[in-house]
Amino acid sequence: MNTVGHPVPDGTQHPKGVPSMPSTNGTHRPPEVDDLSDSSSNNSYDARDSFSRELPPLQAQSALEEFDQMRPLSGDLLGSFDLVAPPDEAHRPFSLETRTEQLFSREHLQVVFSNPTLLLRFTAFLSTHCPSSVPLLIYYLDALKALRAIKYSNAVAEALSPIRGHNFTSSPVQATINPVLEDKAAQAFDALVEDDLPAYITHMYIQIVSLSISQRITGTLAPHLREASEGLAECFVVTDVTRPDNPIVFASEEFNRTTQYGMSYVIGRNCRFLQGPKTNMSSIRRIRDATQGGREHCEVFLNYRRDGSPFVNLLMIAPLCDSRGQIRYHIGAQVDVSGLVKDCTDLESFQQLVMDRKEGQTPQVDGVDEAQRKDEFQEVSESCRVYFDHLRDPAGISIMSEIPVAQ
């Protein structure tokens, strides 16, 4: 977001220097919110390719709205204070915190790696938006291939049978293990889970939100979704990076309604009051690094309202500069995407994970059974290699040679 030449005054007044655009309800919203993902709209793995004709609701009802957990007792009923067993897993109320943990879990990425199509889509995203992570992905795939080769060699060696007349064949062959390689592969996978999986999920949700904003502005949004997207692109805050702890100096009315915190409370405070027990600290670290570095950044993570109820926040931050090009403020726009997380919208891998959890299945590291491991991984590796072959320039030099490999 280029705001050079548009100074923003100090204080808690609305930053008049920030260009604004009218929204559908007559108020103003931050600039360029509806253009957040135009640069990636031409990618073959764009989430819009998988959209249904009707957009999903972005928000979701809270658990208290679906399950009355505060029904008062009408007198001392018989058995009212007896100890009872906890409810079955199938009858427990929906937990947004649990669903969000599943969204960013190792099991979710394992499902992605188990499907060649999903892995190719994930690889294409890294190549375009996180090229520095591509060497890590290849490192993990090669390490996994080596571990499976060791496992295959052990299986072949175990099947060796003694030969009569050759005493040296009577003793069993000792299995080969490589714990160092196993540890390195696990660390590479954990790094992909911590940083690259959240970036991929954020990118997918930005596509949905951007399309919702575009259709709402043009009046083509379905009637049953208009209420769910009310106030969309109008929830934002402005923070002053020149003051200690980067406090909020302006907050929109929609921010007050979404978070349930009044203006008198939020002004002068850092946004960390929205954090809670299940907020991902890796997300907070990435946001802090982007703010200190003066970079635009988008993140999906769990926040909490004043009453303690959780919501999934799609945060988009960008620096605001004065007339001399110095960063004075940061603007942060929030979108409640709890409905997308609850319904696993447009994330095939997440839908599969939730379905497996309901059926009591535990995703394997490979994501496939014994009979399919060899052919499945060979197909995955070949798919990735085919994709990387398409990344060569006209001179035939792979872009991989230009990407620095992490030491």
Residue whose token pair is 């942060």:
332
Rounded CA separation 121/114 (Å): 12
pLDDT for position 292 = 92
As a whole number of angstroms, the longest Cα–Cα distance in the chain is 94
pLDDT for position 239 = 96
Output the average pLDDT for the chain. 77
Residue whose token pair is 């220097």:
17
**Burial profile 341-362: b = 16 or more Cβ within 10 angstroms, e = fewer:** bbbbbbbebbebbbeebeeeee
- Residue 238 burial by Cβ neighbours in a 10 Å radius (0-12, 13-18, 19+): buried
pLDDT for position 34 = 45
pLDDT tens digits for range 104-141: 999 999 999 999 999 999 999 999 999 999 999 999 99
Rounded CA separation 316/50 (Å): 23
pLDDT for position 329 = 95
Rounded CA separation 15/257 (Å): 20
Examine the pLDDT at 338 and tell me if it is beyond 80: yes
Higher pLDDT, 89 or 342: 342
Higher pLDDT, 60 or 162: 162
Number of alpha carbons in the 13 Å side-chain half-sphere of residue 290: 19
Encoded tokens for 51: 């959209």
Encoded tokens for 236: 């934002």
Q: What phi, psi does 107 have (nearest 5°)?
A: -60, -35
Helices (H) and strands (E) in the chain, counts: 14, 7
Dihedral angle of Cα 295, 122, 105, 281, to the nearest 10 degrees:
-10
Rounded CA separation 323/3 (Å): 8
pLDDT tens digits for range 363-376: 555 444 444 444 54
Higher pLDDT, 70 or 275: 275
Examine the pLDDT at 33 and tell me if it is beyond 60: no
Higher pLDDT, 400 or 351: 351
**Is 404 in a helix, a strand, or coil?**
coil
pLDDT tens digits for range 182-220: 999 999 999 999 999 999 999 999 988 888 878 877 878
Q: What number is the average pLDDT over the span 228-257?
A: 86
pLDDT for position 142 = 94
| C-alpha to C-alpha distances, 127 to 45, 179, 196, 298, 328, nearest whole angstrom | 11, 30, 11, 18, 33
Examine the pLDDT at 28 and tell me if it is beyond 70: no
Residue whose token pair is 């002053």:
240
Higher pLDDT, 403 or 207: 207
pLDDT tens digits for range 157-179: 988 999 998 999 988 888 999 99
240: nearest Cα among 400, 61, 71, 13 = 13
Q: How much of the chain, in percent, has pLDDT values that exceed 70?
A: 63
pLDDT for position 152 = 93
Q: Range with the lowest mean pLDDT among 71-75, 85-89, 323-327, 386-390?
A: 71-75
Examine the pLDDT at 250 and tell me if it is beyond 60: yes
pLDDT for position 221 = 76
Name residue 346's amino acid.
D
pLDDT tens digits for range 64-98: 444 444 444 444 555 555 676 666 655 668 899 99
